[in-house]
Structure 1
Amino acid sequence: MSLIALAPGILYLPGAVNSVVVVARGADALLIDTGLDDSHARKLLRAVADAGLTPCGILNTHSHADHHGGNAFILKRFPELKIFAPPLEDALITHPILEPLTLFGARPPRELQNKFLLAPRSPARLAPEPGLCRIGGADIELIEVAGHASLMYAVRVGEVLYAADALFGPEALAKHPLTFCADSGLQKQSAAKLLELEGVKTVLPGHGEPTDDLAGLVAINLAAYERTTAAVLGAVGGGEASIDELLARVCGALGVTMTNVGAVVLNRAVVSAHLTELLETGRVQMKVSGNKLIFSAQA
């Protein structure tokens, strides 16, 4: 598989997760997001080599395993590479057990210690603050787009925007109606904020194909995020319930069938995020009853 040009000096490797390659000085190349595992990383390195380029650094936009799981494989080939990530996200990449631990709330059982939630460890350092910067010799602009993760960076190079997981392609949204987020309110704000960018001619989501319609992509993402909020609110309207009871109601409303432990803890986190947003906007109330945390519609 070959790299595909988005514009002069910026290319990407399509996959379940897109990897972006920014050409720096000479034949140096900054790798942005390395995929889920060794298989994706191997394809990325082969494509970079076929393009006559050599990795000069890695930037992970956030700490989810599918965006940094290839780091360890790449470091075996290029041990001198430095890895950069946003604040908080750098800690999770360096100590990846924090992801399943946080989702489960305790030491995660074996079923949650898989490559989808527990990537190999790689030593990440703090990326520069948002704005114009240089990483690995590549000149880029970092844009803060928190919400999907505790903190996340989109990356702009000239007229090209790599939105990371602030925006998803339409197929990804249809496949995963409960789009993951740590903060649903911030997720919506970050997506809407990208509309303020001027001069963007090509936008690449973390999952999906490039498009020249930034406004259209933002619109379908915001609609999907609001649909989840509405589904959670509707579930609460069905009567007092715990988070797990609400999760079952939301899955029923959105046609989601969960078949493994990972799906349950991820989707439970999504429902929790939207419940927090609804609590903060006064549409839902929370109490402890019968030794359970119970949510109900605001009277």
Structure 2
Amino acid sequence: MSALIPLAPGVSYLPGAVNSVVLEDGHGGALLVDTGLDDSHARKLLRALDSAGLTPTGILNTHSHADHHGGNTFILRRFPEMKVFAPPLEAAIITHPILEPIGLFGARPPHELQTKFLLAPPSLARLAPEPGLCRLGGVTVELIEVAGHASMMYAVRVGEVLYAADALFGPDALAKHPLVFCQDSGLQKAAAARLGGLEGVRVTLPGHGGPTEELADLVAANLATHARTTQAVLDAVRQQPATVDDLLPRVCDTLGVTMTSAGAVVLNRAVVSAHLTELLEAGAVQMQVSANRLVFGSQA
């Protein structure tokens, strides 16, 4: 049976493909931060709470990717009065999850893009408070805005513990997925660097991976991975002007990525597009329409 792993007094987490953080209110209740991909993870989370003598008082989803809120509905069936909170824009997608695959595909998505990895069950989410200190589910937390991986995203700090959500990935996750998903690569880099500047953080838990006391090393590893992706996209453009769909396999070849599903293609295509936008804004790449194709080339 899965059990909560303590990070500090009143702060623990349930490890999984995505970590769920449990913040105690001191009265037998707990705020849940991210609920995992599906019912299976949510069931383990509730069992771990029961074993610890805790009752959930609310849910905070750091962002709207399905693996962070897919467990909401299972928990809400048992605790229907509980509230779900999420950052702006993200709350809309959690409430209407079809927006996620629509955004990736650009139209009503085919069946292959409506799997649980891209389309979680809907759960009514309301806007979380603005970044800063606030109380959610009876717990005082500090919300830190870390947009980039998602359109909006919050990291969560309680005392000396930082839950970075997907602003930072653990080393194993970076090695397994070198094309780290993002919707704004420039903001993604800025968010990671900003977290690296926090003082008084004793332990950092990424959304994917184990806890570490070496925040600076974790930030450096993430920034290096993001920089490699930007360079791989630029090198792909420099080979020959091309569309995003032509650039994607070049980038994958450079980074050793093999795609075997439609979901992987649309996710990684979005990553290449994000880095192209960053390069366009930096003046390193140009974009033009040629022969009915949107083509990206390097600046002369």
TM-score range, shorter chain: over 0.9
Q: Distance in 2 between matches of 1:244 and 1:192?
A: 30
Task: Tell me whether 1:88 sits opposite 2:109 in the alignment.
Answer: no
Residue 50 of structure 2 is matched in structure 1 by: 49
Q: Distance in 1 between matches of 2:197 and 2:224?
A: 18
Amino acid in the other structure paired with 1:261: A
Residue 78 of structure 1 is matched in structure 2 by: 79
Residue 201 of structure 1 is matched in structure 2 by: 202
Task: Tell me whether 1:219 sits opposite 2:217 in the alignment.
Answer: no
Residue 231 of structure 1 is matched in structure 2 by: 232
- Stretches of structure 1 lacking an aligned partner (at least 5 in a row): none
Q: Deviations over 1:23-58 (max 9, x none)?
A: 014000000000000000000000011000000000
Give the superposition deviation at 1:72.
0.4
Residue 149 of structure 1 is matched in structure 2 by: 150
Contact 2:10/2:26 (CA < 8 Å) preserved in 1? no
Residue 113 of structure 1 is matched in structure 2 by: 114
Q: Deviations over 1:83-136 (max 9, x none)?
A: 000000000000000000000000000000010000000000000000000001
Q: Distance in 2 between matches of 1:158 and 1:283?
A: 41
Q: Distance in 1 between matches of 2:256 and 2:198?
A: 35
The 4+ residue runs of structure 1 with deviation greater than 3 A are none
Task: Tell me whether 1:273 sits opposite 2:283 in the alignment.
Answer: no
Give the superposition deviation at 1:196.
1.8
Percent identity reads 75
Give the superposition deviation at 1:82.
0.1
Amino acid in the other structure paired with 2:19: N
Report the secondary structure of 1:237's partner residue: helix
Residue 134 of structure 1 is matched in structure 2 by: 135
Q: Distance in 2 between matches of 1:245 and 1:253?
A: 14
Give the superposition deviation at 1:223.
0.2
Residue 102 of structure 1 is matched in structure 2 by: 103
Q: Distance in 2 between matches of 1:196 and 1:252?
A: 34
Query: Alpha carbon RMSD of aligned pairs, Å?
Result: 0.4
Report the secondary structure of 2:27's partner residue: coil
Residue 6 of structure 2 is matched in structure 1 by: 5
Amino acid in the other structure paired with 2:282: T
Map 1:10-29; keep pairs closer than 5 Å: 10-29=11-30
Give the superposition deviation at 1:195.
1.7
Report the secondary structure of 2:141's partner residue: strand
Q: Distance in 2 between matches of 1:282 and 1:254?
A: 24
Residue 58 of structure 1 is matched in structure 2 by: 59
Q: Distance in 1 between matches of 2:264 and 2:215?
A: 30
Q: Distance in 2 between matches of 1:256 and 1:223?
A: 17
Amino acid in the other structure paired with 2:56: P
Residue 190 of structure 1 is matched in structure 2 by: 191
Q: Distance in 1 between matches of 2:170 and 2:258?
A: 21
Q: Distance in 2 between matches of 1:253 and 1:226?
A: 13
- Stretches of structure 2 lacking an aligned partner (at least 5 in a row): none
Q: Distance in 2 between matches of 1:184 and 1:272?
A: 9
Amino acid in the other structure paired with 2:297: S
> TM-score, normalised on structure 2?
0.99
